[in-house]
Amino acid sequence: MTSMVWGWQIAWYLFLGGLGAGATLTSLVASRSGSRFTTIERAGATLAGPAVAFGTALLVFDLGMGRREPWRLVYLYFNWQSPMTWGTWILTLFIPIALLHALAVTGSLAPRWERFVAPVRRVCVRAQIALKVAAGVLALAAAIYTGVLLSVPPSFPLLSSWLLPVLFLVSALSTGLSAAVVVGYIKARRQRIELDLHPWSRIHIGLVVVELGVLLAWLAVGSASPAGSTSVQMLVSGSLAPVFWVVLVMAGLVGPVLAFVVETAKRGQSPRLALAGEAGVLAGGLALRYLVLLAAVPVLIGPAL
């Protein structure tokens, strides 16, 4: 097994950033579906801000200067030709907007905490439509940016494909949906609320099928160059193949599709099967980020097959 040029923090940032963005979009979809999906709406909104904030903290930690000279981070805001600047502004705006959106749609906290946030919550509720629009736009930007960030360096042919941001966008939608559904279902059970997962399983079938198609297209395009072909070979038949086929393809894509198809056929009567599919999607989403980073390494330092 080879090692990453980037630190492990980057893989987790890519995963949490996409998950948070996808959770926001799931929350917005749930809000349009009526009160029967309130728990999923609230779960998605609650997860988004903290997930992206924690992922961003890992990104800053990996930059090095975030630990040694944190004041230099201000320069990231003013180099407009750099994708890092675009991402810095997206994340800086998304995190507070996501937290305010969560305040607007979630219920009251414990009394000793609610008294501190109640005035802000009232403002957020009045500005709820504007917050939802802003959160949706920024969530899309954040999900796409996680792929753009890696596709900029020309030294890595597998990463420089325009399909990588598309792949990360679809994966972000899928992992965010999974996280919101799992947390929403747990909350619903605690509140003794009946939550129908059938509609979400149907949506997820489409998302996972699209993700699988984009993944195959990305690998095909990446293998067109000699360096990219080395990376693709490493994924499908080299040292990364076990993780690629078992965790990403089988547990993260094929398995969840089968689980969602069966759950849909049973009209929502197998929630545990649906939840198993959601767990597989989350595992596959994290594996995808690690594999993308690991497979890019041989372009510079040679294959480890």
Q: Indicate which CATH number applies to the domain containing 35.
A: 1.20.1630.10
Instruction: Enumerate the H helices of 64-162 as residue ranges.
Output: 65-68, 83-105, 111-126, 128-151
The answer to the question of residue 203 being in a domain is: yes
The answer to the question of residue 3 being in a domain is: no
pLDDT digits (tens, 9 = 90+) for 200-226: 999 999 999 999 999 999 999 988 888
Angle, vertex CA 148, rays to CA 176 and CA 142, nearest 5: 35
The answer to the question of residue 1 being in a domain is: no
Identity of the residue numbered 12: W
The answer to the question of residue 91 being in a domain is: yes
Rounded Cα distance between 244 and 229, Å, is 16
The answer to the question of residue 244 being in a domain is: yes
Range of the domain at 251: 8-301
Rounded Cα distance between 66 and 146, Å, is 19
The token duo for 220 is 């095909």
Mean pLDDT over 94-120 rounds to 88
How many domains is the chain built from? 1
The answer to the question of residue 227 being in a domain is: yes
pLDDT digits (tens, 9 = 90+) for 108-155: 776 777 888 889 999 999 999 999 999 999 999 999 988 887 877 666
How many separate helices (H) and strands (E) can be counted in the chain? 13, 0
Model pLDDT, residue 268:
66
The answer to the question of residue 178 being in a domain is: yes
Model pLDDT, residue 105:
93
The token duo for 44 is 């998605």
Model pLDDT, residue 245:
98
Model pLDDT, residue 304:
41
Model pLDDT, residue 78:
82
Model pLDDT, residue 1:
46
Model pLDDT, residue 146:
83
Q: How confident is the model at residue 303 (pLDDT cuts 50, 70, 90)?
A: very low
Collapsing DSSP to helix, strand or coil, 2 comes out as coil
Asked whether residue 261 carries a pLDDT value surpassing 60, the answer given is: yes
Model pLDDT, residue 6:
67
The answer to the question of residue 2 being in a domain is: no
Match 């599709």 to its residue by tokens.
Answer: 257
Model pLDDT, residue 151:
74
pLDDT digits (tens, 9 = 90+) for 157-208: 788 888 999 999 999 999 999 999 999 999 999 988 888 898 999 999 999 9
Within 13 Å, how many C-alpha atoms sit on residue 120's CB side?
16
Instruction: Enumerate the H helices of 127-192 as residue ranges.
Output: 128-151, 163-190
φ/ψ of 106, rounded to 5, equals -90, 165
pLDDT digits (tens, 9 = 90+) for 8-23: 889 999 999 999 999 9
Asked whether residue 29 carries a pLDDT value surpassing 50, the answer given is: yes
Instruction: Calculate the CA 27 to chain-centre distance.
Output: 14
